[in-house]
Amino acid sequence: MSKVIGTAVNRKDGYAKVTGTATYSAEHDVPGLVHGVVVTSTISKGRIKAIDTREAEKAPGVTAVFTHKNAPKVFKPSNNFMTSKIYEARLPLSDDQIHYAGQIIGLVVADTFERARHAAHLVKVEYDAQKPTIEAKNAVFKEAPPQMGEEFKFVKGDVAAGMAGAATKMEATYTTSTELHAPMEPHAIIAHWQGTDALTVYEPSQFVALSQRTYAELFGLPSEKVRIIIPYLGGAFGSKAFPWPHGILAAAAARQIKRPLKVVLSRRQVTANAGHRSETEQTVRLAAAADGMLSAIAHEVKSSTSPVEVFTEPCTSVTPAMYTAPNLLLNQELAVMNIGTPTFMRAPGEAPGMWALESAMDELAWALKLDPIELRLKNEAKEHQRKGLPFSAKHFADCLKVGAERFGWKDRPQPRSLTRDGKLIGWGMAAATFPGFRGKTSAKVRLLPDGSVHVLTSGNDMGTGSYTVVAITAAETLGVPVEKVRVEMGDSQLPDGGLAGGSQMTASLVPTVMKACQDILKTANCTTGTEACAALQKSGRAAIEASASSAPGDETKKWAFQSWGAHFCEVSVDEAIGRLRVTRWVSVMDVGRIINTKAAASQVRGGVIMGIGQALMEECHFDPNTGYPVVYDLATYHFPAHADTPRIDVAFVGEPDLNFNPAGVRGVGEIGITGVSAAIANAVYHATGKRLRSLPLTPDKLIA
Ligand code: MOS
């Protein structure tokens, strides 16, 4: 039946992007614009004793300087995930306290960016500095508080008892480094007030409707008085879901100075005050009988947050979904450190969590002398152990089977036995997983007499392919060519299209767009859009229009929805110089129905590449004295280039998950990164016989 869904369709936004006509937030042309540059703290803990802005105020072109002494007024928003959400609970410039280096302590506004930047350097600050906590080894870890309504601690059975009698057990501690989202587009905002009671915001946001409600609350306005316009995002990966302090400050300052104001963060500022993924330390204990059946799993995690927000990297979320054991223990601890606020980053929790769990499973497999695929098949969970619900449409075993065949896994020789060109060669594998999330969305679809279709929704495309997914859905449902579908997204005046995050945009929006298109056919009393169009022409009406919404329902009480996958890789290790290269890759994914085979495979590849970065090179460090990030831009923060990336073979298995939504789609944005770093470390073990448990796997660790 399906004609467009499940085929390879080029991006609707591809032409605009490669020709430079796609307009990003900071590029909008707003007449009368002035420029703001934020002033940031050079200490990481203490208070501002004195701040002298006189010289900055006198500098050429400067129109205003804001500090905590004359902070523009904003209201505290309700700050929860339903109504409004900001990244840092502390509002910008709310007092003289310093919590991390790079914290925003002022804003200088001038007629040009260069003049604002110059004047920002003229602000003189005296601090009362205190000794900061920068390193985890000096931090105080406490039980992590519940996050998004869920306790971290989970106990089933008795892990000590499950470990005691076991034939084989392992315990190991795995670490990950601080990672940066490093999107191509830096954080930026243009805030444009119409009077003092209507605001237009051009700022990258993964959740247009929530951003609208948040800015409305910050300024005590009804939502309809705030308009968010964001047709294109240059990457987000979780770092652009909610307003950061610079955005709030820019909007507040613009209201006061009565001019449209643009603030673009430098890369250094993005690193210091617009989020990162916290470093983690994870201890995993596994116990199994001689046949490989797990008797106990314990996963205990430490991560850190900033003094101004509570965010726990939720590493243990994957564990109760992956493998079953009668005895299971999960716990997370959190420390407050004087570094900027960590936040969601592609597969938050799942990516580092699978690093630890899938490394541990590999260690156990070698200890048991069992193939790692067999160990996983024996222990795969049939139900989600926290939710107590069976998985819907689970095809993890097929991922393993198909992946092993495509890779040629069955001929894997003993560790440290493969060589090529004087280098050690190793093969590794790991599982991948990510929950199936879905949110409430709305959309409007319009059929025009010329046979073209407009789809309108505020849900947006952060570079993932949502424009195209929406167009494919409308084309399929109405039976029109995909070229005839025009999609408008990323404007809060359009129906609330939900969140571009948690890999849920496709699963949330496709059922809604389908429903609206079906309503059009019903209204026209036709079976295809072409017939409906003919009827429309005859009637002389301007358009047939339908609005629809869809949301998750009772199915979430019956099923656990989760996507599955398997990665297989080959690495080469040059032990003399500690060079690790990833030379071959196969990923097989079970993510429900695929809407656009080209974009879906690209999403998986993007995830794998980001995982190669996590495994090989991505790490941000903070100066232990000043707390300032010493890795802070796209030159000092290394991530994979094409030369670091092999051909990535992607295949999909499984079936539409029709329990989840009428389209059967689960989304594919994040699963690709999960398990990647473990697969690589497992391959390094196979190549060298060395078990590396600390990411990234840099040359020093490979030589040691
Ligand atoms: Mo993603 S970390 O849910 O944007």
% of the chain exceeding 90 in pLDDT: 97
Torsion of CA 457, 463, 464, 470, to 10 degrees: 30
Distance CA 443, CA 208 (A): 13
433 Cα: distance to centroid of ligand 1 (angstroms): 15
By CB atoms closer than 10 A (0-12, 13-18, 19+), residue 330 is: buried
314 Cα: distance to centroid of ligand 1 (angstroms): 13
**Ligand 1: does its nearest atom lie under 6 Å from the Cβ of 501?**
yes
Contact 460, 235 (CB under 8 A): no
Distance CA 320, CA 326 (A): 11
Q: Which atom of ligand 1 approaches the CA of 239 most closely? A: 4
237: pLDDT strictly greater than 90: yes
Closest of 57, 207, 40, 195 to residue 127, by C-alpha: 40
667: pLDDT strictly greater than 60: yes
pLDDT at 704: 77
Closest of 278, 327, 280, 284 to residue 154, by C-alpha: 327
Contact 623, 135 (CB under 8 A): no
**Ligand 1: does its nearest atom lie under 6 Å from the Cβ of 206?**
yes
Query: Which is catalytic among the residues 333, 570, 619, 670?
Result: 670
pLDDT at 82: 85
Q: Which atom of ligand 1 approaches the CA of 500 most closely? A: 4
322: pLDDT strictly greater than 90: yes
Contact 599, 661 (CB under 8 A): no
**Ligand 1: does its nearest atom lie under 6 Å from the Cβ of 502?**
yes
529 Cα: distance to centroid of ligand 1 (angstroms): 35
622: pLDDT strictly greater than 80: yes
489: pLDDT strictly greater than 80: yes
Tell the residue number behind the tokens 């991505």, with chain if given: 618
**Ligand 1: does its nearest atom lie under 6 Å from the Cβ of 345?**
yes
Averaged pLDDT for residues 535-563: 96
240 Cα: distance to centroid of ligand 1 (angstroms): 9
Residues 6+ apart with CB under 8 A from 530: 451, 479, 480
672: pLDDT strictly greater than 90: yes
Averaged pLDDT for residues 629-646: 94
**Ligand 1: does its nearest atom lie under 6 Å from the Cβ of 227?**
no
Most informative mutation of 278, 614, 670, 673 for ligand 1 (most atoms within 8 A of CB)? 670
With left for phi above 0 and alpha for psi between -120 and 50, is residue 20 left, alpha or beta? left
CA distances from 247 to 224, 269, 305, 517 (A): 19, 13, 21, 37
334 Cα: distance to centroid of ligand 1 (angstroms): 21
Q: Which atom of ligand 1 approaches the CA of 462 most closely? A: 4
692 Cα: distance to centroid of ligand 1 (angstroms): 28
Tell the residue number behind the tokens 């003289």, with chain if given: 96
1: pLDDT strictly greater than 50: no
Q: Which atom of ligand 1 approaches the CA of 669 most closely? A: 1
Residues 6+ apart with CB under 8 A from 388: none
520-528 long-range contacts (CB < 8 A, ≥24 apart) are 520/445, 520/447, 520/478, 520/544, 520/545, 520/546, 521/477, 521/478, 524/447, 527/479, 528/478, 528/479, 528/480
Averaged pLDDT for residues 36-41: 98
Averaged pLDDT for residues 591-599: 98
**Ligand 1: does its nearest atom lie under 6 Å from the Cβ of 314?**
no
**Ligand 1: does its nearest atom lie under 6 Å from the Cβ of 275?**
no
**Ligand 1: does its nearest atom lie under 6 Å from the Cβ of 191?**
no
Q: Which atom of ligand 1 approaches the CA of 237 most closely? A: 4
pLDDT at 139: 98
Most informative mutation of 311, 344, 499 for ligand 1 (most atoms within 8 A of CB)? 344
By CB atoms closer than 10 A (0-12, 13-18, 19+), residue 530 is: middle
670 Cα: distance to centroid of ligand 1 (angstroms): 8
pLDDT at 2: 63
**Ligand 1: does its nearest atom lie under 6 Å from the Cβ of 118?**
no
Q: Which atom of ligand 1 approaches the CA of 345 most closely? A: 2
pLDDT band at 526 (very low <50, low <70, confident <90, very high): very high
Distance CA 332, CA 328 (A): 14
Task: Work out whether the CA dihedral 164, 352, 469, 568 comes out positive or negative.
Answer: negative
Has 670 been annotated as catalytic? yes
Task: Give how far the C-alpha of residue 264 lies from the chain's centroid of Cα atoms, to the nearest Å.
Answer: 21
Indicate which residue's Cα is closest to atom 4 of ligand 1: 238
pLDDT at 213: 98
**Ligand 1: does its nearest atom lie under 6 Å from the Cβ of 238?**
yes
Averaged pLDDT for residues 157-179: 97
Q: Which atom of ligand 1 approaches the CA of 504 most closely? A: 3
- Predicted confidence (pLDDT) per residue in 250-283, tens digit: 999 999 999 999 999 999 999 999 999 999 999 9
Q: 544-550 and 418-420: which strand pairing? A: unpaired
Averaged pLDDT for residues 453-460: 97
232 Cα: distance to centroid of ligand 1 (angstroms): 17
265 Cα: distance to centroid of ligand 1 (angstroms): 21
Task: Work out whether the CA dihedral 10, 15, 20, 24 comes out positive or negative.
Answer: negative
- Predicted confidence (pLDDT) per residue in 44-103, tens digit: 999 999 999 999 999 999 999 999 999 999 999 999 888 999 999 999 999 999 999 999
**Is the bond preceding residue 415 a cis peptide, omega within 30 degrees?**
no
Most informative mutation of 346, 505, 668 for ligand 1 (most atoms within 8 A of CB)? 346
